[in-house]
């Protein structure tokens, strides 16, 4: 009986996990395909494009002090419109014609997970 | 030998050598998802005749040199420079075959290669092109690694294709890690960038 109950619980856990994983994989796939090339797999700003002559240091998503200054809307804008939209470098491309709003929202969640931070409270 | 004979012979060499294992030659574009793109081992060639310059392509097939600093579809591995080489005669035939694969979506005679200050400003400063593409400036090699090098873009690429690709990337590469610039750059700006990039030769200081 106990074993059956464990099996049921385990099955539920697997189902729940895989449902979550499918969604996470989507953002993961997008992050890996578009963002890692400059921001690096660990979000440190050290992707394969970043050589000593790279004109700027791509944002390190793990720095809560910097990321904490940005609202989710700031992050959304910079992904959509590129660096200049938040007075940053045009080396950050405008992805607004490439990614959907839903995909960008997923990336914002991913970035918040890196910095373990939220943006400033809305004024 | 007529061009059509070259095309047929080249198609046969392409098939016999197993080139289709990495490159597909029947358009339109097949990939719809990032997974589709990542499953490809090499670039699609169904519009090769509109993209490349024939003289460059024939020479490259006989002596392939890396175009991308990184291995195709990889963000971790360097390009090993191990693309198979063809004997001169076969390289010529495969070139004839590939140059016969043209796209109706590349209007001809639009772009005249010319280094120009506006195009240069967009390429280097206003837009992130150099973040992923290598180019030369003052004899120095600079730029990122994840896109194909543009150091000799003017020798390799059809200038009209550069513009068509900027303006209408979805036709050629529906899934790519380069942003879509349609709706971001104006058509005149795209023309200036294309003219500028099409002026790049490996020998100059761009």
Q: What is the mean pLDDT of chain A?
A: 86
Considering the domain boundaries, does residue B109 fall inside one? no
Domain boundary among B99, B128, B157: B99
Pair (B135, B79) in one structural domain: no
The verdict on B70 touching A (C-beta cutoff 8 Å) is: yes
The reported pTM is 0.90
Q: What is the pLDDT of residue A16?
A: 46
Pair (B62, B128) in one structural domain: no
Asked whether residue A69 carries a pLDDT value surpassing 80, the answer given is yes
Which of A33, A48, A50 is nearest residue B34 as measured by Cβ atoms? A33
Considering the domain boundaries, does residue B128 fall inside one? yes
- Structural domain of B137: 117-197
CB within 8 A of B64, min separation 6: which ones? B81, B83, B84, B85
The crossing angle, in degrees rounded to 10, of helices B3-16 and B88-99 is 110
Considering the domain boundaries, does residue B110 fall inside one? no
* Residue B97, min C-alpha distance to chain A (Å): 32
CB within 8 A of B109, min separation 6: which ones? B160
Considering the domain boundaries, does residue B108 fall inside one? no
User: Considering chain B, what percentage of its residues have pLDDT values greater than 70?
Assistant: 97
- Exposure string of B55-71, with b = 16+ CB inside 10 Å and e = fewer, is ebbbbbbbeeeebbbbb
pLDDT in tens, A79-94: 999 999 889 999 999 9
Domain boundary among B71, B99, B127: B99
Pair (B8, B91) in one structural domain: yes
Pair (B95, B138) in one structural domain: no
Residue entry with tokens 């080489």: B85
Considering the domain boundaries, does residue B31 fall inside one? yes
Task: State how many domains chain B has.
Answer: 2
Pair (B137, B55) in one structural domain: no
**Do B158 and B146 touch, CB atoms closer than 8 A?**
no
Q: What is the pLDDT of residue B45?
A: 98
pLDDT in tens, A18-28: 444 444 559 99
Q: What is the DSSP string of A10-62?
A: HHHHHHHHHHHHHHHHHHHHHIIIIIHHHH-TTSSS--TT--TT-SSPPP-TT
Q: What is the pLDDT of residue B4?
A: 77
Considering the domain boundaries, does residue B206 fall inside one? no
Looking up residue B31, the CATH number of its domain turns out to be 1.10.760
* Average pLDDT rounded to a whole number, residues B168-192: 97
pLDDT category of residue B167 using cuts at 50, 70 and 90: very high
Considering the domain boundaries, does residue B111 fall inside one? no
Considering the domain boundaries, does residue B107 fall inside one? no
Which of B35, B142, B177 is nearest residue A37 as measured by Cβ atoms? B177
pLDDT in tens, B83-102: 999 999 999 999 999 999 99
Give the end-to-end CA distance of chain A in Å, rounded to a whole number: 56
Pair (B8, B71) in one structural domain: yes
Query: For the domain A2-115, what is the CATH code?
Result: 1.10.760.10
Looking up residue B186, the CATH number of its domain turns out to be 1.10.760.10
Taking only residues 83 to 122 of chain B, the set having a beta carbon closer than 8 angstroms to any beta carbon of chain A reads: none
Q: Would you state the structure tokens that stand for residue A101, as one six-digit string?
A: 């709003």
Does the beta-carbon distance from B145 to A97 stay under 8 Å? no
CB within 8 A of B146, min separation 6: which ones? A37, A47, A48, A49, B69, B70, B75, B132, B177
pLDDT in tens, B95-123: 999 999 999 999 999 999 999 999 999 99
The verdict on B177 touching A (C-beta cutoff 8 Å) is: yes
Domain ranges of chain A: 2-115
pLDDT category of residue A121 using cuts at 50, 70 and 90: confident
Domain boundary among B69, B99, B129: B99
């Amino acid at each position: 009986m106990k074993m059956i109950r464990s099996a049921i619980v385990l099955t539920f856990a697997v189902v729940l996990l895989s449902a979550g994983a499918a969604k996470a994989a989507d953002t993961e796939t997008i992050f890996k395909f578009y963002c890692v090339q400059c921001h690096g797999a660990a979000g440190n700003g050290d992707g394969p494009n970043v050589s000593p002559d790279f004109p700027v240091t791509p944002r390190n998503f793990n720095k809560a002090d910097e990321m904490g200054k940005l609202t989710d809307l700031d992050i959304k804008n910079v992904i959509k419109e590129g660096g200049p939209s938040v007075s940053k470098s045009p080396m950050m491309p405008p992805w607004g014609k490439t990614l959907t709003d839903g995909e960008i929202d997923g990336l914002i969640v991913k970035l918040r997970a890196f910095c373990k931070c939220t943006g400033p409270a809305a004024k | 030998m007529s061009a059509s004979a070259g095309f047929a012979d080249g198609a046969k060499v392409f098939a016999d050598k197993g080139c289709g294992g990495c490159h597909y030659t029947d358009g339109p574009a097949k990939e719809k998802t990032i997974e589709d793109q990542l499953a490809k081992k090499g670039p699609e060639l169904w519009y090769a005749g509109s993209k490349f310059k024939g003289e460059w392509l024939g020479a490259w097939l006989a002596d392939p040199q890396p175009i991308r600093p990184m291995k195709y579809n990889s963000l971790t591995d360097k390009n090993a420079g191990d693309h198979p080489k063809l004997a001169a005669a076969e390289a010529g035939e495969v070139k004839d075959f590939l140059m016969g694969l043209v796209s109706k979506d590349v209007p001809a005679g639009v772009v005249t290669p010319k280094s120009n200050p506006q195009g240069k400003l967009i390429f280097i400063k206003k837009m992130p092109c150099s973040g992923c593409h290598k180019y030369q400036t003052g004899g120095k090699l600079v730029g990122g690694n994840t896109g194909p090098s543009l150091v000799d873009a003017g020798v390799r690429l059809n200038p009209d294709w550069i513009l068509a690709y900027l303006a209408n990337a979805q036709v050629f590469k529906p899934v790519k890690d380069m942003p879509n610039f349609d709706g971001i750059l104006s058509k005149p700006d795209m023309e200036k960038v294309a003219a500028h990039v099409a002026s790049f030769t490996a020998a100059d200081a761009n």
